[in-house]
Amino acid sequence: MPNTINHYDIVIIGAGQAGEPLSKSLAKAGRKVALIESTHLGGSCVNYGCTPTKAVIASARVAHMARRASEYGITVQGVKPDFKAVLARAKRIVEQSKQFLDESFTQLRNPLLIRGYARLNGRDGENFQISVGKEVLICKQVVLDTGTRTQIPPIDGLDGINYITAETWLEHEQLPSHLLIVGAGAIGLEMAQFYRRMGAAVTVIGSGPQVAEHEDADVADAIRHALETEGIQFMLNAKASKVATQTNGILVTVTDENTNDVRRVEASHVFIATGRKPNTDDLGLDTIGLETTKKGTLDVDMRLRTSVPGIWAVGDIRGGPMFTHTSWDDFRIVESQLLGDGSRTTDRVVPYAIFTDPELGRVGMTESDARAAGKSVEVARFEMKHNGKAREIGETEGFIKVVVDSDTQQLLGAAVFSAEAAELIHIYVVLMNAKAPYTVLENAIQIHPTLAEAVQSAVATLKPA
């Protein structure tokens, strides 16, 4: 059977956080658009990332608060998480989002959703050729939004065990008796606390000297301490070098990065959370002369153009911050470049959070980054135990750290480690976007009693130079 050949203005490969909204926006503006997705609409965030992880983290918090009930004068007896029911709740929430996305495409002919795995297949004159099964698409421009998958580290024997990853954790319906998590980044930390609160023993192995390696040491230590208090064990400066099945589970050999000393840990399950590998290795990029970096990302300019004119890269594969909100903002950048005045670029303030409890809300530079950059730095720190609302709701753990440029009085960055930190950080985000001095927040009125008062209290401890 001959291949079907269809022509488009723009083809988007990957229906992730940027690709899906971009396809609709470009089509609405009159471009003929195809969106190709190999698995499920919504990508990693909806199907196994943000959505289900935050859903199970919410269940875990209910269990945690039920265990703490007596602190509030309430008697709750026999807190018993039902692990399967917790996963089932998360899966239902995922299904709702997936269904909503699927239905949004059922009546649409432009953008046309094509299900299948896409590869670039060289040029057709000035245009690009893309293959999906037996279909060939010819187009003027291509947007790549193919996301990432778990980066599997070279651990001896790993192929021989049924390890868990960010992609597969929802399918493992048996609560591990002892979960060993390899990787102490965002995924490792969030999932460690989830499984621990479900009742599993949890050990986290991190190759660096601290958890959350991009954060200031005091912030990273506070996260580790909070998780240790709940019984999670950490092995830092350590690497899992070998795994082997034994009668009662899995024997993991852990090598100390500094001393080369070897320890053996028995676990029932292993979760690999050692970073993400871009899905760029089977995209036919070589057929159009597009090279990846060593890490597999695509170098882009601030307008998200790759080195091949007409090819754009958005979301996690373009290097830099890997978040749903940055991927979604990439959609707005490409939209601005293709349909608007081109003013929107990657020159942006990027906040993020680690959804442990307490949460970490972050924006801008860390103190160490700011000092390394030679800025004239002033740092304020405010302990949450001094905030009235925090005491009233029993959430006194944590602190706020604000890094200010003492020449301009503008924020360079902030870390909020507290209850609701992922919400609170946005106050600093707005201040940074407005390029306003911290005194604007200092002089504002905040509602009492709120955690937001702590965000103000932190800057109020700064003194203008």
Ligand X SMILES: Cc1cc2nc3c(=O)[nH]c(=O)nc-3n(C[C@H](O)[C@H](O)[C@H](O)COP(=O)(O)OP(=O)(O)OC[C@H]3O[C@@H](n4cnc5c(N)ncnc54)[C@H](O)[C@@H]3O)c2cc1C
What is the smallest separation between the CB atom of 54 and ligand NAD, expressed in angstroms?
8
Q: Which partner from the list ligand NAD, ligand X, none does 185 bind, CB cut-off 5 to 8 Å by kind?
A: ligand NAD
186 is in an annotated binding site: yes
Q: Kindly name the residue from 178, 269, 386, 448 that is annotated as catalytic.
A: 448
What is the smallest separation between the CB atom of 115 and ligand X, expressed in angstroms?
9
Q: Which partner from the list ligand X, ligand NAD, none does 213 bind, CB cut-off 5 to 8 Å by kind?
A: ligand NAD
**What are 255's strand-pairing partners?**
239, 262
Centre a 10 Å sphere on the Cβ of residue 287 and count the other Cβ atoms it contains.
Answer: 16
What is the smallest separation between the CB atom of 168 and ligand X, expressed in angstroms?
11
Q: Which partner from the list ligand NAD, ligand X, none does 13 bind, CB cut-off 5 to 8 Å by kind?
A: ligand X
Residue closer to ligand X by CB (options 23, 44) is 44
Positive or negative, the CA dihedral 78, 191, 180, 230 is: negative
18 is in an annotated binding site: no
CA atoms within 13 A on the CB side of 53: 22
What is the smallest separation between the CB atom of 360 and ligand NAD, expressed in angstroms?
9
Stretch of 104-112, 219-227, 267-275, 366-374 contacting ligand NAD, by CB under 6 A = 267-275
Binding mask 290-329 for ligand NAD (x = CB under 6 A): --------------------------------xx------
What six digits make up the tokens of 460?
């109020």
414 is in an annotated binding site: no
Is residue 185 within the footprint of ligand NAD (CB under 6 A)? yes
Is 448 considered catalytic here?
Answer: yes
What is the smallest separation between the CB atom of 227 and ligand X, expressed in angstroms?
17
Q: Which partner from the list ligand NAD, ligand X, none does 23 bind, CB cut-off 5 to 8 Å by kind?
A: none
Taking the C-alpha atoms of residue 347 and residue 454, their distance in angstroms, rounded to an integer, is: 29
Among 51, 274, 280, 297, binds ligand NAD (CB under 6 A): 274
324 is in an annotated binding site: yes
Q: Which partner from the list ligand X, ligand NAD, none does 279 bind, CB cut-off 5 to 8 Å by kind?
A: ligand X
Is residue 55 within the footprint of ligand NAD (CB under 6 A)? no
One-letter amino acid at 163 equals Y
Q: With contact defined as beta carbons under 8 Å apart, do 251 and 269 qualify? A: no
Among 182, 290, 300, 338, binds ligand NAD (CB under 6 A): 182
Is residue 239 within the footprint of ligand NAD (CB under 6 A)? yes
What is the smallest separation between the CB atom of 281 and ligand X, expressed in angstroms?
10
Taking the C-alpha atoms of residue 320 and residue 19, their distance in angstroms, rounded to an integer, is: 17
What six digits make up the tokens of 267?
């676990």
Residue that the structure tokens 């950490």 belong to: 234
203 is in an annotated binding site: no
Stretch of 205-213, 338-346, 433-441, 449-457 contacting ligand NAD, by CB under 6 A = 205-213
Q: Contact residues for ligand X (CB under 6 A)?
A: 13-18, 36-39, 43-45, 49-50, 53-54, 117-118, 145-148, 166, 187, 279, 283, 315-316, 322-325, 327, 355
9 is in an annotated binding site: no
Stretch of 66-74, 217-225, 346-354, 450-458 contacting ligand NAD, by CB under 6 A = 346-354
82 is in an annotated binding site: no
Q: How many angstroms from the chain centroid is the CA of residue 226?
A: 20
Q: Which partner from the list ligand X, ligand NAD, none does 359 bind, CB cut-off 5 to 8 Å by kind?
A: none
Binding mask 212-231 for ligand NAD (x = CB under 6 A): -x------------------
Is residue 415 within the footprint of ligand NAD (CB under 6 A)? no
Q: Which partner from the list ligand NAD, ligand X, none does 145 bind, CB cut-off 5 to 8 Å by kind?
A: ligand X
Taking the C-alpha atoms of residue 457 and residue 465, their distance in angstroms, rounded to an integer, is: 18
Q: Which partner from the list ligand NAD, ligand X, none does 354 bind, CB cut-off 5 to 8 Å by kind?
A: ligand NAD
Nearest to 397 by CA among 458, 457, 442, 451: 451
Annotated binding site for NAD(+): 183-190, 275
Residues that bind ligand NAD (CB under 6 A): 153, 182-188, 190, 205-208, 213, 239-240, 273-276, 322-323, 352-355
Residues identified as active-site: 448
Annotated binding site for FAD: 54, 316, 322-325
